[in-house]
């Protein structure tokens, strides 16, 4: 039986066209984009074509508002620290939310050590921020608001447009971590209104090790990497040509195929949610009923441990996640699930199912059959479950 | 139209065919995330750890001392800002003085300028007319406040090799941390971290036939620079961000290849480079060699053509020979490079400086052809 990848959040396969473009980049050896000679010119052209495709995907006014980085994490670090350092003369207060990705949390934690102070706004039971809370958290010396576009564990999409209206009015820089959104759902920087947007290439079937940061023209920010004048002086370092080529191609395809991909993802979600009760009882769906990523379902199943399910499913060649892959190895309960009011025990029973263009309805059905068996086995051996059922 | 003869290996290198082969599975089938606990994570995780061992083997350190980065620039930023900030964050009365040199790559110089905004003080050591720093200058620059010395292993423009092991020895006596940017020297001369005695060493993939966008930093296990990129716990907690598995595998392979028969490779490069040099001399070109005649990378030939402009020479031969005026990384802004200026190369010579750098794929035929092309271009001008 073929393996089924239901952990797209950790890694999505490269699309064939993306692979082809990357293979060409490897074989062609375009040279160093900063060189003046003919070999270097071609490299520079390749990078600028990719920049245009990415700018087109997010509807940036100018390609050069897109800076290539080494990952989503790299973009987030650049955005948050770059704004904090460049605007410290104006103030040292940052507003964020309780359910951000570790790259946001830890970048901000680092700034706290440098005497920046932070207000973290709560979320409701579906993981959504209330824009009023953001407005109330803003102080005279606030220099940055950083709220993610979609959450990587429960998929909740935040009211970014409304928050942007507030930050715009108060003239505060607004960053959104959109790593799990850009290329997956329509994302228009003009409509969203954020000044800085972090994203990565792998969520839309491009390579890992490359990401992007949208920097609206006129935003006051320092580079994270100092050195040469690459990326219009916004990020030093010789460009990752293979990765950037792949990301550009992936962006082009994401734009072209967005509608059909969304239909497919929504069908898979519908199957998953409507069939779930036929296979398992006593569970919660953690997704927001309305504002949620179409490619992620988070489910907390009672009386079992998600990690055990993951390993047992792995034996059946089915991959899922219990939390963000970035947090694998951590035994602490997810801060996101705690923030939406799940108990520790239920948090331990949580699984994240993320699917993509390469999955089919049959994949979902086979997953449901296997998880039903797995959950039954685990509950049968659980003293807690047996005690409660008595 | 055939591609120009490539004599800009210090600017960047093509991918080694073995590197391409090693990367292939990670482009074609293995797309997993090394952090995943399921099946898809296994092969990528093993591949990253194998690559780490290959880099460590090349540099003669343990794998746990290697962190993968997005390139030489990030490695330099991580090393220098990381040491400066970790010492500042400890709040100990340890000083805020950094020693570097005037001939460093912008990824070191700009980082020092950046730290100056935060109150760090920098001494930029001069170089002699052959582009080498003087140990007595270093000794004079030392102060009780000195926390870090960052000197490149070999210069990118002239190939001049710096006395790193002597520097590290002095630093050690004074309890000062030593970093070296070895982007240019790796694969061209031996670079063993134990022999060099440095605490941190930067690696750039695209200078050793691996892709652009990948690099590494050697961090001696007793040293903890502040993390450069905060987030999840990848790279043993030393560098957050999903791993660039494809290119990490490429870098690992490139390091393994570079450690094979280094001496033989050095001899081949040196004979090709000297063939070019001798050929141009025989053609009666008015040239002057920049950099140390002996203590120099075996592949690098920085020549000044008297009274000519470097960009005109490059244009004149551009369709046939690709070389570089000043360092490739800042070719757009070069007037007279900061390195030549530091060496006090007379202006009428300095303006006409071309850096030729040969590499593993360079052939004798290419060199002979290049001699004709360069000499012809210079004569026409």
- Run of H or E including A84: helix A72-86
Token code pair at residue A187: 């994302």
Nearest Cα of chain A lies from the Cα of B68 at a distance, in angstroms, of 11
Among A6, A22, A213, A225, most B C-beta atoms within 10 A, so best to mutate, is: A225
Which pLDDT tens digit goes with each residue over A177-221?
A: 999 999 999 999 999 999 999 999 999 999 999 999 999 999 999
User: What amino acid positions of A are annotated as catalytic residues?
Assistant: 326
Residues B251 and B269 in one domain: no
- B253 found inside a domain: yes
* A240 with B241: Cβ contact below 8 A: no
Q: How many CB atoms lie within 10 A of CB A281?
A: 12
Averaged over B291-311, what is the pLDDT?
A: 93
Predicted confidence at residue B329, as pLDDT, reads 38
Predicted confidence band of residue B38 (pLDDT cuts 50, 70, 90): confident
Q: Is the pLDDT of residue B89 over 90?
A: no
* Beta-carbon-side half-sphere exposure of residue B154 (alpha carbons within 13 Å): 26
Least CB–CB distance from A242: residue in B11, B73, B211:
B211
Give the end of a domain, one of B200, B230, B259: B259
Give the pTM.
Answer: 0.94
Residues B284 and B193 in one domain: no
- B11 found inside a domain: no
The Cα–Cα gap between A288 and A309 comes to 24
Nearest Cα of chain A lies from the Cα of B328 at a distance, in angstroms, of 5
Predicted confidence band of residue A388 (pLDDT cuts 50, 70, 90): confident
Q: Output the domain CATH number for residue B301.
A: 3.90.1150.10
* A39 with B230: Cβ contact below 8 A: no
Residues B234 and B85 in one domain: yes
Residues B51 and B158 in one domain: yes
Chain B residues inside the 8 Å CB shell of A76: 231
What is the span of the domain harbouring residue B295?
A: 261-380
* B244 with A210: Cβ contact below 8 A: yes
Averaged over A147-159, what is the pLDDT?
A: 97
Residue percentage of chain A with pLDDT more than 90:
85
pLDDT averaged over every residue in chain B: 93
* A11 with B4: Cβ contact below 8 A: no
Which pLDDT tens digit goes with each residue over B93-144?
A: 678 999 999 999 999 999 999 999 999 999 999 999 999 999 999 999 999 9
> In this predicted complex, what is the ipTM?
0.91
* B231 with A326: Cβ contact below 8 A: yes
Among A67, A236, A374, most B C-beta atoms within 10 A, so best to mutate, is: A236
Predicted confidence at residue A33, as pLDDT, reads 73
The Cα–Cα gap between A315 and A317 comes to 5
Instruction: Name, in order, each residue with C-beta under 8 angstroms of A5's C-beta and a sequence gap of 6 or more.
Output: A11, A13, A319, A356, A358, A359, B40
Residues B272 and B139 in one domain: no
- B1 found inside a domain: no
Least CB–CB distance from A209: residue in B14, B229, B244:
B244
Chain B residues inside the 8 Å CB shell of A306: none
Averaged over B310-319, what is the pLDDT?
A: 88
Residues B299 and B246 in one domain: no
Give the end of a domain, one of B193, B225, B259: B259
- B303 found inside a domain: yes
- B6 found inside a domain: no
Chain B residues inside the 8 Å CB shell of A326: 35, 231-234, 240, 242
Predicted confidence at residue B330, as pLDDT, reads 46
- B12 found inside a domain: no
CA angle B187, B189, B191 (to 5 degrees): 85
Least CB–CB distance from B4: residue in A39, A109, A314:
A39
State the distance between the two ends of chain B, measured CA to CA, in whole angstroms: 24
* B37 with A236: Cβ contact below 8 A: no
Residue percentage of chain A with pLDDT more than 70:
96
Specify whether the CB–CB gap between A219 and A239 falls below 8 A.
no
Chain B residues inside the 8 Å CB shell of A307: 37
* A317 with B234: Cβ contact below 8 A: no
Bridge partner residues of B133 (DSSP): B127
The Cα–Cα gap between B318 and B293 comes to 27
Residues B234 and B321 in one domain: no
Q: Output the domain CATH number for residue B29.
A: 3.40.640.10
CATH numbers and ranges of domains, chain A = 4-11+258-389 (3.90.1150.10), 16-253 (3.40.640.10)
Token code pair at residue A103: 């790259």
Residues B317 and B251 in one domain: no
Residues B222 and B331 in one domain: no
Residues B158 and B65 in one domain: yes
* A35 with B325: Cβ contact below 8 A: no
User: What amino acid positions of B are annotated as catalytic residues?
Assistant: 329
* A226 with B39: Cβ contact below 8 A: no
Chain B residues inside the 8 Å CB shell of A325: 33, 35-36, 41, 242
Specify whether the CB–CB gap between A309 and A320 falls below 8 A.
yes
Predicted confidence band of residue B276 (pLDDT cuts 50, 70, 90): very high
- B284 found inside a domain: yes
HEC sequence for B99-164: EEECCCCHHHHHHHHHHHCCCCEEEEECECCCCCECHHHHHHHCCCCEEEEECCCECCCCCEECCH
Number of domains in chain B: 2
Among B36, B104, B207, most A C-beta atoms within 10 A, so best to mutate, is: B36
Residues B241 and B269 in one domain: no
Give the end of a domain, one of B259, B287, B314: B259
Averaged over B250-273, what is the pLDDT?
A: 97
- B273 found inside a domain: yes
Instruction: Name, in order, each residue with C-beta under 8 angstroms of A30's C-beta and a sequence gap of 6 or more.
Output: A39, A40, A42, A43, A46, A241
Pick the closest to residue B335 from B347, B323, B343 (CA basis). B347
Averaged over A249-275, what is the pLDDT?
A: 98
Which pLDDT tens digit goes with each residue over A340-387?
A: 998 888 888 999 999 999 999 999 999 999 999 999 999 999 888 888
Residues B124 and B169 in one domain: yes
The Cα–Cα gap between A303 and A294 comes to 27
Predicted confidence at residue B269, as pLDDT, reads 98
Nearest Cα of chain B lies from the Cα of A12 at a distance, in angstroms, of 7
Averaged over A311-339, what is the pLDDT?
A: 81
Chain A residues inside the 8 Å CB shell of B333: 229
B124 burial via Cβ count (<10 Å: 0-12, 13-18, 19+):
middle
């Amino acid at each position: 039986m073929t393996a089924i990848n239901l952990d797209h959040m950790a890694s999505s396969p490269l699309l064939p066209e993306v692979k082809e473009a990357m293979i060409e980049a490897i074989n062609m050896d375009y040279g160093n984009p900063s060189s003046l000679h003919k070999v270097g010119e071609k490299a520079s052209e390749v990078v600028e074509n990719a920049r245009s495709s990415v700018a087109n995907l997010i509807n940036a006014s100018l390609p050069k508002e897109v800076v290539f980085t080494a990952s989503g994490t790299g973009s987030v670090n650049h955005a948050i620290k770059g704004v904090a350092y460049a605007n410290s003369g104006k103030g040292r207060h940052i507003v964020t939310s309780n359910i951000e990705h570790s790259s946001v949390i830890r970048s901000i934690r680092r700034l706290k050590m440098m005497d920046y102070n932070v207000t973290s706004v709560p979320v409701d039971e579906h993981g959504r921020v209330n824009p009023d809370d953001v407005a109330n958290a803003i102080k005279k010396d606030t220099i940055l608001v950083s709220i993610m576009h979609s959450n990587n564990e429960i998929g909740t999409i935040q009211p970014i447009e409304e928050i942007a209206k507030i930050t715009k009015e108060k003239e505060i820089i607004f960053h959104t971590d959109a790593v799990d959104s850009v290329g997956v759902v329509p994302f228009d920087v003009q409509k969203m209104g954020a000044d800085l947007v972090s994203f990565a290439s792998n969520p839309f079937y491009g390579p890992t090790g490359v990401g992007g940061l949208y920097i609206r023209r006129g935003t006051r920010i320092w580079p994270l990497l100092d050195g040469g004048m690459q990326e219009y002086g916004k990020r030093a370092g010789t460009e990752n040509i293979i990765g950037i080529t792949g990301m550009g191609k992936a962006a082009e395809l994401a734009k072209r195929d967005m509608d059909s991909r969304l239909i497919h993802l929504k069908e898979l979600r519908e199957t998953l949610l409507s069939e779930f009760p036929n296979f398992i009882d006593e569970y919660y769906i953690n997704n927001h009923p309305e504002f949620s990523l179409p490619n992620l379902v988070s489910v907390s199943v009672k009386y079992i441990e998600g990690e055990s399910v993951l390993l047992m499913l792995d034996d059946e060649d089915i991959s899922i996640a219990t939390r963000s892959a970035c947090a694998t190895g951590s035994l602490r309960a997810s801060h996101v699930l705690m923030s939406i009011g799940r108990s520790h025990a239920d948090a331990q029973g949580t699984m994240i199912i993320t699917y993509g263009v390469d999955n089919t309805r049959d994949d979902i059905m086979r997953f449901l059959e296997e998880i039903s068996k797995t959950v039954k086995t685990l509950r049968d051996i659980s003293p807690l479950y047996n005690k409660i059922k008595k | 139209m055939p591609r120009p003869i490539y004599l800009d290996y210090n600017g960047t290198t093509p991918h080694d065919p073995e590197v391409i082969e090693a990367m292939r599975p990670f482009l074609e089938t293995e797309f997993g995330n090394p952090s995943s606990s399921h099946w898809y994570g296994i092969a990528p995780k093993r591949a990253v750890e194998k690559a780490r061992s290959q880099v460590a083997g090349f540099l003669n350190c343990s794998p746990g001392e290697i962190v993968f980065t997005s390139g030489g620039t990030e490695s330099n930023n991580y090393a220098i800002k990381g040491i400066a900030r970790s010492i500042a964050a400890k709040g100990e009365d340890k000083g805020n003085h950094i020693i570097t040199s005037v001939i460093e790559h912008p990824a070191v110089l700009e980082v020092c300028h950046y730290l100056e905004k935060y109150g760090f003080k920098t001494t930029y050591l001069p170089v002699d007319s052959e582009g080498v720093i003087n140990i007595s200058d270093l000794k004079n620059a030392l102060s009780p406040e000195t926390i870090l010395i960052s000197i490149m292993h070999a210069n990118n423009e002239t190939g001049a090799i710096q006395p790193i092991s002597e520097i590290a020895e002095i630093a050690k006596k004074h309890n000062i941390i030593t970093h070296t940017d070895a982007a240019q020297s790796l694969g061209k001369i031996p670079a063993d971290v134990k022999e060099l005695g440095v605490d941190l060493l930067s690696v750039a993939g695209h200078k050793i036939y691996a892709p652009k966008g990948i690099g590494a930093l050697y961090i001696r296990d007793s040293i903890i620079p502040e993390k450069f990129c905060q987030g999840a716990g990848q790279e043993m907690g030393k560098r957050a961000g999903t791993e660039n598995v494809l290119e990490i595998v490429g870098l690992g392979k490139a390091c393994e290849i570079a450690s094979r028969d280094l001496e033989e490779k050095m001899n081949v490069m040196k004979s090709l480079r000297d063939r070019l040099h001798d050929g141009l001399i025989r053609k009666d070109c008015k040239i002057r060699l920049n950099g140390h005649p002996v203590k120099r990378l075996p592949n690098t030939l920085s020549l000044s053509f008297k009274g000519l402009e470097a960009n005109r020479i490059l244009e004149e031969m551009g369709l046939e020979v690709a070389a570089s005026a000043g360092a490739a990384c800042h070719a757009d802004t070069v007037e007279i490079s900061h390195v030549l200026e530091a060496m006090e190369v007379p202006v009428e010579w300095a303006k006409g400086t071309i850096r030729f750098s040969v590499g593993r794929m360079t052939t004798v035929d290419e060199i002979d052809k290049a001699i004709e092309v360069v000499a012809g271009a210079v004569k026409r001008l």
